[in-house]
Amino acid sequence: MQTVNVLGSKYKLVESNSGKDVILERADGYCDNTTKTLVIKNLLPEPNSLGNLSEYKKRVVRHEIIHAFLFESGLAGESWADNEEIVDWIAYQFPKLLQAFQSANAL
């Protein structure tokens, strides 16, 4: 089982499916801060699925890791940090942000 260090807390990264986890019937992933678990839906190609599921899965993993970082930073519960749109933006743009930081020697 893979773990992710989030500000000193170890989060388990697990894959599951909607048959085992009812939450995945309505989400492709979630962060359970009570058990320190990042759950990612095992995405399989279907007629209406995205063309590049491996890239999408990486974005879902980044999204849930960001939720964990925000929670561990004390930014949870009815705040901007729970806004799915901003968390998704960070997850989607992070590779570009990383590249920009690296090219500017800002890490």
Domain span including residue 38: 2-103
pTM of the predicted protein model? 0.90
Residue in the structure block whose two tokens are 């697990």: 14
Which residues, in sequence order, are CB contacts of 62 under 8 Å at separation 6+?
90, 91, 94
Can you give the CATH number for the domain in which 90 is found? 1.10.10
User: Total domain count for the chain?
Assistant: 1
Task: Report residue 97 as tokens.
Answer: 């942000």
Question: What pLDDT, on the 0 to 100 scale, is given for residue 86?
Answer: 93
Give the whole-angstrom CA distance, residue 11 versus residue 67.
11
**pLDDT tens-digit readout, 51-85:** 788 899 999 999 999 999 999 999 987 788 888 99
Mean pLDDT of 5-15: 98
**pLDDT tens-digit readout, 27-50:** 999 999 999 999 999 987 777 777
